[in-house]
Amino acid sequence: ETGVTQSPTHLIKTRGQQVTLRCSSQSGHNTVSWYQQALGQGPQFIFQYYREEENGRGNFPPRFSGLQFPNYSSELNVNALELDDSALYLCATNTEAKNIQYFGAGTRLSVL
């Protein structure tokens, strides 16, 4: 049990729609990172938030955006969904002192 909770577990959307994925973690986990994992691939870094500010971004277009809230929860928003956005989306959190990222169970997004 990592203490990182993601919702929803599964989601089906159609191309062009918008989606919001959510992540919550334990108190003190002030860094949250989001990853996209396509089938058969390793997770790819989308972006990271630290103390509610974006702290690094991977090679993803601006239609991928995020937020982190004072209660350590976080959102990943994806606009104008494309078929290739179908993937497992993973949230990982860590404290400032700990170098280790712990993952939530993920959200499986299917875009039809």
Partner 1 sequence: QKEVEQNSGPLSVPEGAIASLNCTYSDRGSQSFFWYRQYSGKSPELIMSIYSNGDKEDGRFTAQLNKASQYVSLLIRDSQPSDSATYLCAVKYGANSKLTFGKGITLSVRP
By the criterion CB under 8 A, which residues form the site for partner 1?
31, 33, 35, 40-45, 48, 50, 55-56, 58, 88, 90, 92, 96, 99-106
Minimal distance in Å, beta carbon 105 to partner 1?
5
Here the tokens at position 16 are 């062009």
Minimal distance in Å, beta carbon 81 to partner 1?
22
- The Cα 1–Cα 8 span in angstroms is 18
Here the tokens at position 9 are 């577990």
Helix (H, G, I), strand (E, B) or coil at 19: strand
Query: Measured from the CB atom, is 8 or 16 closer to partner 1?
Result: 8
Minimal distance in Å, beta carbon 16 to partner 1?
27
- The Cα 79–Cα 11 span in angstroms is 15
